[in-house]
Each structure stands twice: as C-alpha cells, then as structure tokens.
Amino acid sequence: MTVAALATAAAAILGTADFLGGLAARRSRLIAVVLVSQLGGLLVTGLLLSLLPGTPSAPALLWGMASGVTGATAIALFYRSLAAGVMSVVAPATGATSMAVPVLIGLALGERPSPLAIGGIAAGLAAVLLVGQDGRRSRTGSLTGPLVGGILAGAGFGGSYTLLKLAPADAGLWPLLGGRACSVLLVALVAVAARRSPRPAPGSLAVTLLAGVLDATGIALYLLAVQQGMLSLVAPLVSLYPASTLLLARYVLGERLRPVQITGVACALGAIVLISVS
C-alpha cells in the first residue's frame, strides 16, 4: 500500500474506534473504558508485531512509551468529551488540533511538502473545521467543556503522532508495544490510586474491546505510513478520522448532517486526492 493509502485507512479505522469508544464511555465508567480498550489494543499489537516484525531497541521502546502515555491521556480526555458532548462537534475540534501539531513540528524539522500537498493540508484543515459546524448544545447545556477537552485531546494525539515519528525507522511496530504496555500500566495505577473499579458496565465489554482493537490497528497503519513518508503529510490524512466518526454518528445515532458538514466531507476527500498525487 502507498503512504497515502495507509494513512487514509488509518483515519477510517481510528474514526470508527473513536465512535465506539464514545459509545462505551456513555455506558460505563471512563477509567474502565480506557483500561479495557488499552488492553484490547495491547493484545492486537502483540499479534501484529508477529506479522510485521522490526528491530527492537531502547530508543524505539522509549519513544513508544512516551507516545503511549501521551496517547492514553488524550484518549481519556477525548472519550470523556465525546460522552458529554455531541460527537459531530467534538471530534472535528480534536481532529483540527491533532493535525496542526505534527504539521507545525514537521515544518520546523525541515520538511517541505510540495505546493499540491500544501493545498491538501489546507483542504484537510477546512474539512475537520467544517464537519464540526453543528451548532447544537451538549447534554450538559454548553459546548465549552466538551470542546476544551476535545482540543486538549487533539494536542495530545498530535504529540503522540510526533513521538512515534521520532522512533527509529527500522523499529517496525515495537514502539507501539512499548506505548501500549506503558499506557495499560499507567491507567491501572490511576484506577488503583483513585479506588475506581476497572470493570466495564454490563453490555459494554464487547464494544470497548473493539474500540481498543481498532484504535491499535489504526495507529499501527499510521506508524507504517509515517516511517515511509513525511510527518507533515501523513498526519493530516490520519487527522481526517472525524469524517468517519461523523458518518457513523449520522447513521447509527441519527445525528443529522448539515450542508456545511457535507461540504466538510467533500473537502476531506479532496485532501486525500491532493496529498495522494503530490
């Protein structure tokens, strides 16, 4: 698969994982959702590692662990925001921030995308902003709380993407194994310290595990893409994941799409095309 195809597939899978994680967070305790989903992700990462082996090293595991801590914190913020707010508003705000952070860092590191690719980045940013133009209030009566949480989560995701890029290119999926193991340990310690039960609510186990499995699969595809391509191009494609979250929210939860949001989906498709041909 090409770099663009890997990144686009990662976006679709991550958007589905986020939708399922948001559903699970509405049914169960947040700490249980994060821990169980991270355990599911750890299991699938181990399986993928046997299929796509790389070269293990201390830098690979350390960068992965740093990414895992950052990503686990971002997931907790994101799931909480999805549970409290409107998915089709929170997810795009997260996507816009998670796109901006690695693009700016990639440019600072000397990456220079082509003019066509820069047009694709601009179209991607427009996409995640447009699909968030919902205008409805969250269940708590205000958009402010969920949006702030979503923006902070986006910064965490962007930081996590960047840290994975810094791992050695020949590491394969070893950084993910270090990241998942570290995040599981961190969340478990938080659960013990807070005296919160990590047991998911009845009926939420399957969807929580599936969210973790898909999240790990999507991140694995992202890592494979960013090991071959520029951070400033791969991250914008992966950050289009709110489009699939939005579509699932529309057809599963009945959240209506406004014309401006449909325009945002079209911009997302345009971004994929522009970056793919650059």
Consecutive 10-residue runs of the chain (278 residues): their mean pLDDT? Answer: 86 90 83 88 89 86 91 83 69 75 82 79 75 53 63 87 88 90 88 81 88 92 89 82 78 75 74 67
Can you give the pTM of this predicted structure? 0.79
The pair of structure tokens assigned to 11 is 């976006």
Written as six digits, the tokens of 96 are: 């816009």
Is 33 within 8 Å of 25 (Cβ atoms)? yes
Q: Which two tokens stand for residue 275?
A: 């970056």
Q: How many Cβ atoms sit within 10 Å of the Cβ of residue 8?
A: 23
8 A C-beta contact, residue 38 and residue 179: no
Q: Which residues contact 262 (CB under 8 A, 6 or more apart)?
A: none
Specify the pLDDT at position 255.
Answer: 67
Structure tokens at 113: 């995308």
Alpha-carbon gap, residue 70 to 64, rounded angstroms: 10
User: How many other C-beta atoms lie within 10 A of the C-beta of residue 2?
Assistant: 11
| Residue 172: its H or E element | none
Domain around 62? 3-277
> b/e map of 48-67 (b: 16 or more CB within 10 Å)?
bbeeeebeeeeebbbbbbbb
Q: Domain total for the chain?
A: 1
